[in-house]
Amino acid sequence: MSGTMQRPTKRSHYTPVSYLENFVGSDGALHVVLLKDGRRFEASPEAVGFENNFYRPDELDDPNVFEGKFRQFEGEASPVVKRVISDSVMPTADDDLNILYNFIAFQWARLPSTRRLITAPLKHEARIRLDICRTMSEARFREECARVRVNPDQFDFQQVHIFGVDEFDFKITTETFLQLATVMLNAMLPSIAKRRWTVIQSPKPGWGFAVSDHPVTLNWADGREVTHRNIPGHHHIGTELTIPLGSTVALVGTFEPFEYQEDAVPRYVSGINSRTYSKATRFLAASEDEFLLQHEGRILRSAELVEMLKAKQLEPKQKS
């Protein structure tokens, strides 16, 4: 075995390629909508759902150590997910269920949006503590950097000592993010396993499920709006956890029985797509240009969503 280290993997797919492949159309492409401006285009699964060097470690020597572990798990999860899609039933084997539940939790915990959620309070705490220590010695300042998991080499101590730390953009290491994301994942798993899972199947073209940069969503089952004062938790009863597995199949997890109704499938599909859209920040992708959502109590076609996104770009920017 060669001791030469592999070249670093630049693209870090927070939405796995093997997962995105479940949403390609008959033409072999994803039909993508960019949420920032409504622009539409076709792309391969390799061309979306990534951020350069997102999982590259800051402290470990092997630049691909996390990518390698993630791809190994994705290789185990992909056939399980594909069987659920092909059979339209949940796995019965405990090992397969465990892999599927971990896949769902992982797709919640590994994302750029989760990284921002995790690191925001860490940065706030670090800023306060380091601002206190900057008036002390450089050695004391560096010790405090280690305590709050911040690399002291990103600071010019003389500048910090005089002007403070407000102007610095704190970098929380990849190792810290993934360590805390793992804590989050492990906290989610018991509730995921306790939920009753229903397979929702899309019946025809134009009614397919869409995927996004945040495909796992948690909402109140009664449809009440999620606000900063009313955020559902993974252990809360009366909640629905949803994830599209492919263009034809999605999962809904509840603690109460889910009363599946055949004539409500368009509502299920459009509702899940709307939830997928509500958590997304970068893109939606589907197997074809046409898919359904919900907006203000009515079913909305994807073309209408695109027009809304484009119109939003024309609105005057509010002054901060």
Q: Given this model, what pLDDT does residue 168 score?
A: 66
Q: Given this model, what pLDDT does residue 82 score?
A: 97
pLDDT above 90 as % of the chain: 62
- Between helix 174-194 and helix 112-133 the angle, nearest 10°, is 130
C-beta separation of 302 from 291 below 8 A: yes
Nearest to 44 by CA among 21, 22, 26, 12: 21
Separation between Cα atoms, residue 222 and residue 243, nearest integer Å: 18
The terminus-to-terminus CA distance of the chain in angstroms comes to 58
How would you classify the pairing of strands 249-254 and 40-43?
A: unpaired
Separation between Cα atoms, residue 261 and residue 280, nearest integer Å: 28
C-beta separation of 219 from 238 below 8 A: no
Nearest to 289 by CA among 7, 12, 25: 25
| pLDDT tens sequence for the chain (320 residues) | 344 455 667 899 999 999 999 999 999 999 999 999 999 999 999 999 999 999 999 888 899 999 999 999 999 999 999 999 999 999 999 999 999 999 999 999 999 999 998 888 888 887 787 788 887 888 888 888 888 777 777 777 777 777 677 766 677 889 989 999 999 999 999 999 999 999 999 877 778 999 999 999 999 998 888 888 888 999 999 999 999 999 999 999 999 999 888 888 888 999 999 999 999 999 999 999 999 998 877 888 999 999 999 888 766 554 43
Q: Given this model, what pLDDT does residue 152 score?
A: 78
Location of structure tokens 């909508």: 33
Separation between Cα atoms, residue 247 and residue 269, nearest integer Å: 10
Separation between Cα atoms, residue 201 and residue 211, nearest integer Å: 15
Which residue type occupies 114?
T
- Between helix 174-194 and helix 94-109 the angle, nearest 10°, is 130
Number of H helices, E strands in the chain: 9, 12
Q: Given this model, what pLDDT does residue 314 score?
A: 62
Q: Given this model, what pLDDT does residue 319 score?
A: 44
Q: Given this model, what pLDDT does residue 3 score?
A: 47
Separation between Cα atoms, residue 318 and residue 315, nearest integer Å: 9
